[in-house]
Amino acid sequence: MRPGGALHDRDPRVGAALDHAALYEASYQRERDLERQDQRRRDFMSELSHEIRTPLMSIQAFADLLRMDGTSLDAPADDLVSSLSFGVDRLNRLVSDLIDLGRSGGQEFEVHIGEVDVVEALRAAESLMRPAFLLRGQTVTSDTSATSVRAIADPHWLDQVILTVLSNANRHAPPASEIALRVLRTEDGCVRVEIRDHGTGIAREDRDRIFEPYYRARSADAESMPGAGIGLAVARRLIEAQGGRVWVEDCEDGAGARFCIDVRAVAEQA
C-alpha cells in the first residue's frame, strides 16, 4: 500500500512528497542497518584478534624463555625454537593482515607520513627475516651503495609492505636460491625498493590478480606453500594510502619475480 492512502491519491504534489518521504525513510533505515552491521563486524574482528593473539603471546613467551637460557639448547633444538618463533611471528602478522583487510577502505588506516630512510628500512626488514632466509638456505645480496635514501612515507606501513614482499620471496622462491635487494632513485622523483628472486616468477596473466584478496597463483610451489593470499592485497592498500605503488614485473634475465615498491623521494638539495 502507498503511504498517505486517500490523501496521496487526491493531490499529486502531496503524493510526490509522501513518496519522497518514504524513500528517504527507507534509505535512512538502510544506512542505519549498514552502520549496525559494520559495528558488529568490527567488534567481531577485534574479539577474534584478541582470542588468537592471546595464546600466540604465551607460545612466543615460552620460545623466548627457552632461548634466553641459551646453554640448555643444542643446535638442532635451537633451530626448532627459531622456527617456532618465526611461525608465531607469521601468525601474528597474518592476524594483523586480516584485520587490516577487514577494515572498510583506505581511510581507516591511520597514515602518519614523515621522512623515512628507505635503505635503513630495507636493512631492518632483511635482518628481521634473516632466520627465515637461513632456514631455507637462501642468500640475500644487496646492491645498494648509498648509505641513506630518504623518502616521504609512513615508516610503519612501509616496513610492513617490505616485509610482505620479502616474506613472499622467502616462501615462494626455492630453497638455496638467491634474493637480490636494491634501493634506487627513479627519474620521476620516487625511491624504489626492488626485491628480485629466482623462483617460478609470476605468469603475465597473474601479475595484477596476485594483488587481489585471497588470490593465489596456480604455480606448483604456491600449492605446496600454505598461505592465505592476502599479504599482497593488504600491501597494495597500505602503499597506495601513502601515495606509493607496488607491482611485479618481468625479469629480463630468466625466471624469477621482481617486485617494486615506489614511494615519493625527498627532493634532493641543490
Positions that interact with ligand ATP (CB under 6 A)? 94, 168-169, 172-173, 197, 199-200, 202, 210, 216-217, 219, 222, 227-233, 257
Cβ proximity to ligand ATP, 61 vs 228, nearer residue: 228
Residue 195 CB, nearest approach to ligand ATP (Å): 8
Closest CB 128 distance from Mg ion, rounded Å: 15
Distance CA 166, CA 122 (A): 9
In the block, residue with C-alpha cell 635514501: 149
**10 Å Cβ neighbour count for 223?**
10
- Closest distance between ligand ATP and the C-beta of residue 189, in Å? 27
Grid coordinates of 44: 567481531
Q: Which does 236 bind (CB under 5 to 8 A by kind): Mg ion, ligand ATP, none?
A: none
**Positive or negative torsion for Cα 257, 262, 266, 270:** positive
Q: Are 254 and 120 in contact (CB under 8 A)?
A: no
Phi and psi torsions of 135, nearest 5° = -60, -35
Binding footprint of Mg ion on the chain (CB under 5 A): 168, 231
User: CB of 200: closest distance to Mg ion in angstroms?
Assistant: 14
In the complex, residue closest to ligand ATP by CB: 227
Q: C-beta of 229: minimal distance to Mg ion in Å?
A: 8
DSSP for 186-254, please give it: -TTSEEEEEEE--SS---GGGTTGGGSTT-----HHHHHS---S-HHHHHHHHHHTTT-EEEEE--SSS
Q: Which is nearer to ligand ATP, 73 or 251 (CB)?
A: 251
Name the binder of 121 from ligand ATP, Mg ion, none, CB < 5-8 A by kind: none
Q: Which residue has the cell 496521496?
A: 8
3-state SS assignment for residue 1 = coil
Q: Which is nearer to ligand ATP, 68 or 220 (CB)?
A: 220
Rank residues 65 and 228 by Cβ distance to ligand ATP and give the closer one: 228
Q: Which does 197 bind (CB under 5 to 8 A by kind): ligand ATP, Mg ion, none?
A: ligand ATP
Chosen from ligand ATP, Mg ion, none, partner binding at 199 (C-beta under 5 to 8 Å by type): ligand ATP
Nearer to Mg ion, 168 or 242 (CB): 168
Supply the minimum distance, in Å, between the C-beta of residue 215 and ligand ATP.
6
Distance, in Å, from the CA atom of 8 to the CA atom of 232, rounded to the nearest integer, reads 55
Give the nearer residue to ligand ATP in terms of CB position, either 140 or 149: 140
Distances (CA, A) of 158 to 135, 162, 171, 188, 217: 25, 6, 20, 19, 24
